[in-house]
Amino acid sequence: MNQRTRIKICGIGREADVQAAVDAGADAIGFVFYPKSPRRLTLARAAELARLLPPFVAPVGLFVNATATEIAAALESIPSLLLQFHGDETPALCARFKRPYLKAARMAAGFDLLDFARQFAGAQAVLLDAHVEAYGGSGKVFDWSLIPSGVSRPVVLSGGLHAGNVIQGIRRVRPWAVDVSSGVESSPGVKDAAATRRFCEAVREADALIAAAEA
């Protein structure tokens, strides 16, 4: 069965970037609430941008070891917010809010993704990123051969993606979705509309190539 790979553009901070992502066909927009990130937004600013989203484009909040109070405040400010956890959050903490969530896995040799997915069985998906010292999005490509078959949750491929490598990534991994941030930027937190469009076009090209190969 043919599948359309979903697209999330993360690290959005400007009205123009929201519009460019929507126009390019993004399914989700990511707002970063990690204080140490150059893309970090206040709740008030994120709520302003979320109000620009049309139906069926989801706002996603990225958190790194945030307190329950901070997460609850974000959900109050943006009621439709999906949660994305990028730190050391436990399954219990992720499930506490009774909201759909993604859990990031920091991929490295020896990491047991199958066990990780079992631990976070309540997650809508596991987001695969490179293992680096800092938390949040890495902007680095990891070795896709580390991804085992039989992962029990849908996979979101992330980590250093851009228009030049996302076709290869989708054909290799067959993820449910892809997540991009720095790969469509002119500077941290400033998206490039043309790069965003090229990225989304490349995702559609990958889907078309897979469909043709399976026909």
10-residue averages of pLDDT along the chain (215 residues): 87 97 98 94 98 97 96 97 96 96 94 97 96 65 94 96 97 97 93 98 97 91
Residue 135: the pLDDT is 59
Entry pTM = 0.95
Q: Where are the domains of the chain?
A: 6-214
Residue 1: the pLDDT is 46
Residue 136: the pLDDT is 54
Residue 3: the pLDDT is 83
For domain 6-214, the question of CATH label 3.20.20.150 is answered with no
Residue 188: the pLDDT is 87
Residue 215: the pLDDT is 85
Residue 113: the pLDDT is 97
Residue 2: the pLDDT is 55
The residues carrying an active-site annotation are 10, 129
Residue 140: the pLDDT is 83
Map the chain to HEC letters: CCCCCEEEECCCCCHHHHHHHHHHCCCEEEEECCCCCCCECCHHHHHHHHCCCCCCCEEEEEECCCCHHHHHHHHHHCCCCEEEECCCCCHHHHHCCCCCEEEEEEECCCCCHHHHHHHCCCCCEEEEEECCCCCCCCCCCCCHHHCCCCCCCCEEECCCCCCCCHHHHHHHHCCCEEEECHHHEEECCEECHHHHHHHHHHHHHHHHHHHHHHC
